[in-house]
Structure 1
Amino acid sequence: CSSVFLSLVPQLQDALEDQNLQTRSEYVDLFGRIFTASASTVAQQFKQLFLSFLRRFNDVESSIRSMMADFSCEFLQKLPTFRREIGDCLISRCKDKEESVRKSSVVSVCEAALKDPECVSDALMSAVGQRVLDKKQSVRLDALRYLAKIFQKHVGPFWRKRKRLPESVKKFTWIPKKILSCSFVTSDPNMNHFVEDLFDEVILDSSCSVKQRSHLLLGVFASLDRNSKTSFLKLCCTDKKRIQELVRSLMKCKQQLKENASNPHALQRIQQKQKGYANFLAENIPFPKGKDSAVSIILNKFANNVDNKVGNWFTTLADPSTAYLQSRAAKEALLKVLGSRSQASDYARRIITVISMPIICSETVKIVLDVASSDNRAIKSAAFLILRGIAPDFPQLFHSNHAFKCLASLVQSEDSETCSIALEILSFCSNAYYGRSISEQISSTLQDLVISGHGLESGYAVRILNRIHSEDGQETMMQSLMEMCVEHLNLKSPHLSTVLISLSEIAKMCPKVFVLHSQRIVDFVSTSLLYHETEVDLDSMSPKFTKRSETSSNKSTGLVSAKVIGIQTLVTFITSSVTEVKDANIPDQSEQATSIIKLLINVLSCDGDITGRRIIEDREASCIVVAASKGLLELCEIPKYEQLMTPEHFQIIALVAHNDLLHIRKPFLLHIWERLKIFKLPMRFSVILAMAAAEPDEALRLSMKRGLTLLIGRTRKTNELRQKVSSKQIIQISQLPEYNLTYLIHLIAHHPDFEEDQDASYSYILKFINFFIDALLQGQEANNYSLILGILTQIKLAQDRQTPENQNINVCAELAQHLMKRKYQGKDWGPRYPDRIILPPSLYIEKSSGEFRTRPFLNDGFSLPSDADIRSSRLSQSSMDLSSDVRLSRAADSADVPSPVENDKSPKKSKKRKAPKHQREKSEEIILSGKENDVSQSDVSVKQSPKRHKQKQKNPVQKKAGKRISSGTKPPRTIDSGSDSSDHESSLPIPEPTVSPVKKAKKQRASQLTSSSQFEFSSNTMASDNTMASDSSSEFIPSPKKKPSTGKRRKTSSMKSKNIKASKAAKSTRAKPKLLSRKRILSPEESASSQDFSSLEISPKKRTRARRSRKM
């Protein structure tokens, strides 16, 4: 018989490939039944025929492919020798273009896995897992249901008994994570409720006991990654808090309706409130379109239920402390009472899923607390993460004697990490319920932790001791803790950071107690702690490494940590003194805030090392800089203290975005974005995000651009809502995002890189303007060209209040106008602002009509750089030679900041931060040999400054080894007679670089040309003034772009060559802003004497077109 069948194989193969669809389908069905028959060995005997049969998985007809997928479940179970071939075919069918084929493939594979986990491979299960994000809902839901069943059957029995998984089922541990990903990846609003139901009913198995479900929960949670754990807690716990509060408020309104039945005014007010709660509930629980009646049915039954059963059931479900079995009973009864109508029943189920907490209940917390003391590290970590996640929002889940005993034992644990986590949980859930128990058992332990705890343990201990007492006892307890902490304020104390954390927590929780000792604490931090330095012998360091010895490094690290916490303590004290209700016991702290602001500004200007010794490492100094900048921003969140910030202070804060170190710039910019996102900082701080236009880190730069665009769009939507509420009222111009251009122009006009050779820095300055204007012009609502140009015109006609002789604001405004002219072409002009544009009076002085300047501030032949040049612009060499600490110190001169020497009790000569001796010698040798690429950096990686991005070094002398290389590598800078050069000059002599005779002659000619141009000012100035006759007082109206003629081009080229000397001479006498006036023009003799360093100056031939001179 087998020989006869074997002879028919070729004909049977042809039949499987017959062009007739019906014939092909019949043979596929026939062979499918033959190969899957019980005890059949046809597939093994006639392998070639079976492989020909498997090719029907790729049939052109979807019905045959679907038929093959239906047979595949039995194939996988009964034909183990062909599982690899069948699996490969099913993987391709899981990605089939037809929905029915994908669905059949997913169902067949999952049914096979349910029966025998060995018959499916990891790759095949992974292909099924990808279908949870299928574009078709039917495929998506089937994949989710079957995967949950597979996990329930094969993994659940082991995890709920806390047993190890066998190797055959470990391939299914990824299923919860994959199912959870659907809740925040897909745009389906119903998916969250479906996923939560799957976890509650299937994955955690609703038929199991609470203990078994809790063990399953710990296993599932331990298998998730960090982001998935956060999403899981939000889905099943933390996001429910607001909805539960809403339902309880709705229930309270119903009770008030009964109590005020005879009061019509109260009834009307309560009914309006009840309607608002119901509408808000409907908005937060999405429902399918066209099913509005379901919402009204449920809410009407809820509001008008006579026997109050519905209300009681809703209250039971909305209570997070409800037991698991009680919650399930209320859920089933509520669904039964609400009726059998499908719409109402479906929506009611969704409401119940949202407000109830069946996954994490009060019994679950008790079991998880017991497991938290187990030896299994993964399960223990998962238990702590669950408890820490739910404690802030649901502290009532911990209100039991069993929970307190577990937490108290964990607090007294020898493991510091366990103790810290237990204290954190206890700090959220401790109140009068725990008062007597804590006072009797662990009060002494908590008081010891206030002084000698590790990390944040002291802060948690203070919080717990404060909350367990009543209002009268709180002040007494805080007073005793305050006196104890003040006694331990000692620079030699090993627990100085701990004491400062405790003081910060006391200032936050009880400011009127902190005020009594505030002066002593402020004096200690500002005069003792921040100016204290750890003595380190730099010469005794190992020549092989730049790190310090272990002992001195630990001391320095502890000191830096104490300084950071000290800064945070001062800021916390000032911010906590501002309360919603004025307290007579808390005096006004404006004077104290002013001194703290100056202190923090001084920290920024000294680059974190306020002592001026420059012996701490960059990484340590960066921690202090970040802390000071965040502290200043936190003070700016309070309007009362924001008014104390001068424009100079704002500029110094903004310059942190241009620090040399990425680990300073990045947290600073991200912190500003986070505080702007939650409406904490004023919108004018968004212009600091535009300083990221020169950021070398592309990811950070693009992130800031997206954030700035999002903030501007949100501000516009807010203004639209205000306009709808009051259509007749004109929105104030200060509330428009375009108004922030006034702050940006003023900020970049005082940028240190706008100091000299201004024409060469135009492209760099335009980078920031272009960055901000691009964000303003994003979106369809960006028809604001008229408003932007109106603001720029007002700035161009105004005077700088900070430095009235400075004209940089006018130049920046005119540059922005030229940029807007290019961007305007082909766009909608937009409506004019109906009211008068008023500039910020703290920044600008608006001139009268008779004082308007009638000629432009830029050259007659000025040409705007291309967009590519603006985006890829670099700093001038002179700007590159200025490190961030020098720029900040320049800004600090005009900010009235006390110098380190003035505040130090034992004045010492301020010096540049020095590198170790062996490194200084090595750097000098490298400078002499010209091998700048061999410079060895310290262990602290220094990211290139934004202002040095892609700048090519022309001379090895210009190469600097981070911020620690000797300052002798750049030319000596002359300082005004009234300034002290010791703040910026290094006393270390450096050998003169070797220069060839040819290059030396070129440098001499360049310096002679520069010096001779100073004596040609008067005649060229008059000539250039006569050529400027345009009127800039009128509003700037852009015109279509035209190609210049050949003659005009020649004229422009000749104008450049004729007026370059005059423009340089004009720059030498042009008034500079006070913030930047740190250099003076060299005389011819001084220029000749410094010719050896002229290679560091930009050659006149390579300067961009100079601005024409003008009458001052």
Structure 2
Amino acid sequence: MDTDDTQSSSLIDSQMETEETPRLYFSKSLIGSPKPVKVGELQTLLKSLHEQLKDLDQNIDQSSLATVTKELVHKQIIKHPNKTARALAACCIADIIRLHAPTCPYSASELKTVFKLFVDQLGFFGKETSDFPYHFYLLENLQSVKTFLLLGEIEGPEDIVFPMVAEFFEVTAKASLPRNVELCMTDVLIQLIEDVGILGQEMTELILEQFERFDKYFSDILLSMSNSTDQNEDLEEIRKAHQLMRKVNSINPDLLLNAMPLLQEEMKVDHLGIRQLATETLGEMFAEESSNVAEKYPIIWKTWLGRRNDKSQSLRAKWLDLCVDICKNHPESVPELIECFKEKFTDPDDKVRATACRIVGEIGIEHDCKTMDKNLVELVGARAKDKKNPVRVEAMATIGTIYNNCYQRIQANDKLAIDKAGWIPDLVLSCLYLGDLTVQANIESILQTFIIPEDDNDADRAERLVTVVHSLKDKQKVALLALLQKQKLFNENMLTFVEMCEKNIDHSETSEHDAIKADEFMKYLAARFSDKARTLNALRSFRHRENQADIKLLRNAIDLNRTCKQVNTAKTKLLANLTDDQSAIVDIFQSILNRACPLILNKSIIAHLLKMAKLNKSRRATPATQRSLVAQKILSDMSTVYPSMYTNNLKDIINDIMSDNDSTADEGLQLLSEISKASVGEMKFKDEMVERLTAYVSEGSVEQAKHAATALAAMKNADLALVDPVAEWSDDFYINSRALLSRLTSFAQFALYAPGLIDPHIGSLIRFVEGNLLTTKTKEFNKKNDEWEPYDDLPELSKQKLTGVRLLVNYLIASKDSSELENFAINKIFTILWDLMDVTCESALADETNAAETSHLRLGASQSIVKLTQFHRYLSELTVPKFEKLSIALQDACYYVRQEFAESLMKGLQSGQVHSRYYTLLFICAHEPEIALLKQVKSFIQKRLSVMEVKQGESSVVDSSLVRLIHLLAHHPDFTEAVEDLNDFSQYFKFFISCVATPDNVSFLYHIVQQIKISKDMVAEELSKQNSYILSDLACLLIKTKCKDASWPLNAFGGRVSLQSRLYRALPAGAVQAETIKKSYLPKEFLTKFEDEHKHKSGEKNLHFLSFHVTIAPGQSTCDDKADKTAKLFVETVGKSNGHYAVESNGSLRVSNDGKVNGFDESGTEIGRTP
């Protein structure tokens, strides 16, 4: 092998030694002696030389060039009278210089002569000559070799090249040269200016002179565009002209004096491409840092501002983008532009609205709070609730950026910064009430990116969290807590997902059942996000990757026991890995991690919050005091949501409780109480701590007793350790006991967390609450004896009653699986609750007892029954009549009872803690007099329907609730066959239809209602059976009417439906069913009245089914003086079903009941009426 290599190498060296260096083979002389060579012969020689030279490269033997190099600059050649000979000589000299580069074979004086020859030859462009190929070869050669750089070696180069430059400009202005010639000339000019530096006064004037023709050039292009058949090609020429204008403007704007009006005209033409080019060009001109174009051409500026309302959405959006640099470079224009921006937040196109929101964040208005327009920021904030998600995303990002940039001033208590930007977190969190999954993901992103961004300094992070929460209104504080609770639940779910991924790595442990279960769980997780399909795909992809390192990173990122820094590190690394490996799922996992990672609340900030909570406990409402209270509130919420985070701080909390500082001890007690709830039966306290907690139960305030009892109940072996104290405390249960409320509160906590302590005493407690406490009349009330008062304002006895009832309910909740629980206790407690629902404000007023107390008792009883009957142990207590009795709470005389009960149902239905049967009760709100509550219920139902996954051909639980609603109404105490009552009851179905009915499910709804007519009521007597049939017919009538009004098809339902067996059972098939289905149970009087009313409404629509042509001009007798222009309205109806009208021109039209036409301008001002 080595021998072969050596032989090959020797062969190559031998070939290289024998290879000849290229050389010029030209032996004849170009110079004649004594007479010059004849023209014909000389041309032949020069052509031959030219052909050889142009094919040679720089590796030539330069000695072979010596003779021709010298002869070519001889005066016989350079000053030869024949043009072709001189042209060929110039080409040969150019090649000689090329082949000698980088050195030059000529002296300075010879170079001067050579360049004069070059300039002379380049002056022939634009003239008819057969030597054009030689002239172009020379030009291209000089341009590519950059031969003109040699001008730096001679004196007075400007005098040599000035005629050439002038000739270039002259010939390009007059003649139509090939494109490649123009490009070479341009490059030569650039070399002369940039590389050689030839730009004296005379040359500068010559260049600037050329631009005086620019306006003519520009107008000629516009004219050619208007007459052209190929506008795309001409548009490209116009684009080049615009690029030139921008360059001219940056050098000498005055040269554009006559071209500016042409730009203004371009902004008005129909061709979108030209309008957009003109708008972009002027926008860049206005944005030049040294520009005064806007000030110099105010009319053009106003015209350009008008492009914000261009009919093209792409141009309106582009206009907004162009404003960014104008705002940055010309602050004086900002106020006027901001007023223009404000209009664009309501633009009909969502891309324009999104752009408007984005550019506000880019112009940096927040850098100076004094000049920052608060109204502009508020308008951007309003778009955070836009119907389109891209607009919401940009709006939130912008206000988030503004808040982040203003934060340091807000944190320093700068009142101006607080006023103009401090409200932003409140606005962001208020968007949670939209109930949209996309919005929630946006909020989570904005919170972690801008509002509470990544910060490894835990003290600063705690301070920022306090600042943010301090700025929130109460409603948004509730929203933040709800968001954190959702994130906690999702964190737990993601931990389950991680465990599934870990198990999946070991295939031997994964069965087919496990795989199906895992996929169902991933579907459940994906349903928490708006893009369910992509989220599910991302979760599946991650699981199937089986990447152990990334699974570990995910576990670390969601670990509640890791610091902010550790969580951020794991999160960043995981996203980086996914970007490298599976970039398609990165944005989905970003949203997943925003929700699952413990970053808003984290264990690492607890110590700093505890320190802040202890500072400045003065009674004066100073900023420091307020921040201390906020820190305390955050700690309290944190202990509720993430009690496990306090593990490392438990010792400090216990020390606070053991201290003599009452305020500190109370805060510690509250925290310990919340932490204890998460670890019932696991807490271990030293004897002195148990004594301190016992003392709080015995002698402390109600709040102290409540928290201390919770902590004691969570102790390990509490059932044994507290037997004697509980027996002793039970002796205090008598009406006049000063400690009664504290005892009841403590026992309510014992009942919930250590029910074994209550077991021996439950009988006596029931007897006391039922026989003594609830029968004692509360004679204390305010002057009006209002039907509602907040809990804190209630008399002591009322609080005792409510707490006593809660004690009994807590006992049942905690004992649901206990074998010690006796039926006697269950029956007694439920009897108490059902009886409390019948205690009314009217009876309280008649007895002169506290009316507000009865409202609280009714509400508490209703909510407790719903909560208890969710457990299988107590489900038998909820018979059909009793379930229907619960609906009375939603028609309670007291608004607060209706509101609180409705909200508790909605919250439970949303979280899944309440059975879907309770959707039925919400429709009882149909007659709710408070519009806000009615809208809230309707919105909730519609949003729940939008997120429910219903398979093809199946119905939702809300659809099926119509059967329960009919049964409930059939047994309603107010139901009769009277026409007035049927009108009232029809409102329930109208409300149901408005919430639930769609073209897709209306056939199913009609079908299930029809099924009631061939079924028997399983609960009621014959009269109630008749009631069901009447209501069935009423519901069918209203469904058919809705279909007719909305032009929905009412097709036969193809599926099979079974009604709830506890409500209805099918009648025997045959004649009985045929008779009931055929018979109409609605009274004739009702049907007649209903048909008349419906005809009247249809008649009103038909009355408007007309055509009008109305022209109203200023000065006419029918025109209002407020009209500022002719309003021409051509109106035609577009459909009988909705009676809408098409309106031409700016304005709208209304048709009054007498058939006259009213015209209105854009502001809504009436500008005319037909006689």
> What band does the TM-score fall into relative to the shorter chain?
0.5 to 0.7
Structure-2 change in CA distance of 1:328 and 1:862 (3 Å): closer
Q: Provide the residue aligned with 2:807 in structure 1.
A: 569
Aligned-pair CA distance for 1:521: 0.9
Distance 1:857 1:605 in 2: 36
Q: CA shift at 1:166, angstroms?
A: 6.1
Letter in 2 for 1:91: K
Q: 1:965-1007, CA deviations, whole angstroms, 9 ceiling, x for partnerless residues? A: xxxxxxxxxxxxxxxxxxxxxxxxxxxxxxxxxxxxxxxxxxx
In structure 2, the residue matched to 1:223 is 471
Task: Select 1:789's aligned residue among 1010, 1031, 1045.
Answer: 1010
Task: Give the letter aligned to residue 1051 of structure 2.
Answer: D
Number of the residue aligned with 1:594 = 827
Which sections of structure 1, spanning at least 5 residues, go unmatched? 724-730, 872-1112
Query: Is the contact made by 1:218 and 1:379 (CA closer than 8 Å) also made in structure 2?
Result: yes
Q: Which residue of 1 aligns with 2:767?
A: 523
- The CA distance in 2 between the partners of 1:859 and 1:149, in whole Å, is 63
The answer as to 2:971 corresponding to 1:747 is: yes
Q: Does 1:830 align with 2:1077?
A: no
Shift of residue 614, structure 1, vs aligned partner: 0.5
Q: What residue is the counterpart of 1:625 in the other structure?
A: 858
**2:733 aligns to what?**
489
- Is contact 1:500-1:565 (8 Å) kept? yes
Q: Name the counterpart of 2:404.
A: 152
Is it true that 1:110 corresponds to 2:362 in the alignment? yes
TM-score by length of 2: 0.58
Which residue number in structure 1 is paired with residue 340 of structure 2?
Answer: 89
Counterpart in the other structure of 2:81: none
Displacement of 1:212: 1.7
Q: Specify which of 308, 312, 318 is matched with residue 558 of structure 2.
A: 318
Using a 3 Å threshold, how does the CA distance of structure 1 residues 809 and 115 change in structure 2: closer, same or farther?
A: closer
Where does residue 400 of structure 1 map in the other structure?
648
Which amino acid in structure 1 is aligned with residue 810 of structure 2? T
Match for residue 503 of structure 1 among 714, 736, 747: 747
Q: CA deviation at 1:475?
A: 0.6
Instruction: State the one-letter code of the partner of 2:612.
Output: V
Partner of residue 368, structure 1? 609
Partner Cα distance (1:227, 1:663) in 2: 17
Distance 1:140 1:257 in 2: 39
Instruction: Give the fraction of aligned pairs with identical amino acids, expressed as a percent.
Output: 16
Please give the alpha-carbon distance, in whole angstroms, between the structure 2 residues aligned to 1:95 and 1:774. Answer: 29
Q: TM-score, normalised by structure 1?
A: 0.61
How far the C-alpha of 1:210 sits from its partner, in A, is: 2.4
Q: Which residue type is aligned with residue 760 of structure 2?
A: L
2:49 is aligned to none
Looking at structure 2, the residues matched to 128 and 397 of structure 1 have their Cα atoms a distance apart, in angstroms, of 37
- What are the superposed Cα offsets for residues 309-351 of structure 1, whole Å, 9 maximum, x if unpaired? 3343232222111122323333344345556243365555555
Cα deviation, 1:257-308, whole Å, max 9, x if unaligned, reads 78x88xx57777766666666666666577797898866654344x2x4xx5
The match for 2:376 among 111, 124, 143 is 124
Match of 1:1006 in 2: none
Structure 1 713/516 Cα, relative in aligned 2: closer, same or farther at 3 Å? Answer: farther
Query: 2-side partners of 1:420 and 1:818: how far apart?
Result: 58
Q: Distance in 2 between matches of 1:671 and 1:142?
A: 35
Contact 1:407 1:426 in 2 (8 A): no
Corresponding position of 1:172 = 421
Please state how far the C-alpha of 1:152 moved relative to its aligned partner: 3.3
Letter in 2 for 1:463: T
State the distance in 2 between where 1:714 and 1:26 align: 48
Compared CA separation, residues 222 and 654, structure 1 to 2 (3 A): closer
Q: What corresponds to 2:708 in structure 1? A: 461
1:299 aligns with 2:543: yes
Deviations 1:756-802 (A, max 9, x none): x967755456655776688786662232445433423444xx7x976
8 Å Cα contact 2:844/2:850 also seen in 1: no
Please say if residues 384 and 396 of structure 2, whose CA atoms lie closer than 8 Å, have aligned partners that are also in contact. yes
Render the CA deviation track for 1:555-588: whole Å, top value 9, x for unaligned. Answer: 9821122122222223333443321xx53xx042
Distance 1:600 1:199, change over 3 A: closer
Once the two structures are superposed, the pairs formed by residues 15-34 of structure 1 within 5 Å of their partners are 17-19=264-266, 33=285
SS at 2:765 equivalent:
helix
SS at match of 2:472: coil
Instruction: Give per-residue Cα distances to partners, 1:792-850, cap 9 Å, x unaligned.
Output: 3444xx7x976x6x635425534643663575577334358587996659x99999999
Q: 1:204/1:244 Cα in 2 relative to 1: closer, same or farther (>3 Å)?
A: closer
Match of 2:929, SS? Answer: coil
Q: 1:315 to 1:118 in 2, by over 3 A?
A: same
Measured after TM superposition, the shift of residue 400 of structure 1 is 1.2
Deviation at 1:526, TM superposition (A): 1.0
C-alpha distance in 2, partners of 1:817/1:515?
A: 53
CA displacement 1:433-485 (0-9 Å, x = unmatched): 86336x544x3443233345545543332221122x22xx2212342442233
Partner amino acid, structure 2, of 1:394: Y
> Which amino acid is the alignment partner of residue 781 of structure 1?
N
The answer for the alignment partner of 1:817 in structure 2 is: 1033
- Matched to 2:553, the amino acid is W
**How many residue pairs get matched?**
815
Q: Is the 8 A contact 2:639 2:671 kept in 1?
A: no
- Shift, 1:527, TM fit: 1.1
Which letter maps to 2:767?
D
- Identify the range of structure 1 (283-292 vs 225-234) with the bigger mean alpha-carbon deviation: 283-292
Q: In structure 1, give the amino acid aligned to 2:363.
A: E
Give CA-to-partner distance per residue, 1:358-381, whole Å, 9 cap, x none.
343221222222222234244234
Preserved CA contact (<8 Å) 1:133 1:140: yes
Q: Does 1:780 align with 2:1000?
A: yes
Distance 1:512 1:349, change over 3 A: closer
- Cα distance in 1 for partners of 2:283, 2:793 equals 80
1:634 deviates by: 4.2
Secondary structure, counterpart of 2:339 in structure 1: helix
Distance verdict in 2 for CA 1:824–1:394, change over 3 Å: same
Say whether residues 1:616 and 2:849 are aligned partners.
yes
Q: Tell me if the contact between 1:657 and 1:691 (Cα under 8 Å) persists in the aligned partners.
A: yes
Q: Give the conservation status (yes or no) of the 8 Å contact 2:384–2:431.
A: yes
Alignment of 1:686-1085 (within 5 A): 688-701=921-934, 717=950, 737=961, 739-740=963-964, 743-744=967-968, 746-748=970-972, 751=973, 754=976, 761=981, 763-764=983-984, 780-784=1000-1004, 785-795=1006-1016, 807=1023, 809-810=1025-1026, 813-814=1029-1030, 816-817=1032-1033, 820=1036, 823-824=1039-1040, 827-830=1050-1053, 840=1063, 863-864=1086-1087, 866-867=1089-1090
1:14 & 1:791 partners in 2: Cα distance? Answer: 78
Structure index of larger Rg: 2
Aligned counterparts of 1:9 and 1:256: Cα–Cα separation in 2: 73
Distance 1:15 1:109, change over 3 A: farther
2:610 corresponds to which letter in structure 1?
L
Bigger RCO (CA 8 Å, 6+ sep) = 1
Residues of 2 paired with 1:700 and 1:6: CA distance? 64
Deviation at 1:532, TM superposition (A): 1.5
Instruction: Out of 317-326 and 473-482, give the one that drifted further.
Output: 473-482
Query: What code does the residue aligned with 1:828 have?
Result: N
Q: Is the 8 A contact 1:43 1:50 kept in 2?
A: yes
Long gaps (5+) in structure 2: 1-251, 617-623, 1045-1049, 1095-1171
Distance 1:311 1:620, change over 3 A: closer
Question: Which aligned pairs between 1:248-647 and structure 2 lie closer than 5 A?
Answer: 248-252=495-499, 298-301=542-545, 303=546, 305=547, 308-338=548-578, 340-341=580-581, 342-343=583-584, 346=587, 349-375=590-616, 376-401=624-649, 404=653, 408=657, 413-414=662-663, 418=667, 421-422=670-671, 424-428=673-677, 435-436=684-685, 439-441=687-689, 443-467=690-714, 469-470=715-716, 473-534=717-778, 557-579=795-817, 582-583=818-819, 586-589=820-823, 591-607=824-840, 614-638=847-871, 640-644=873-877
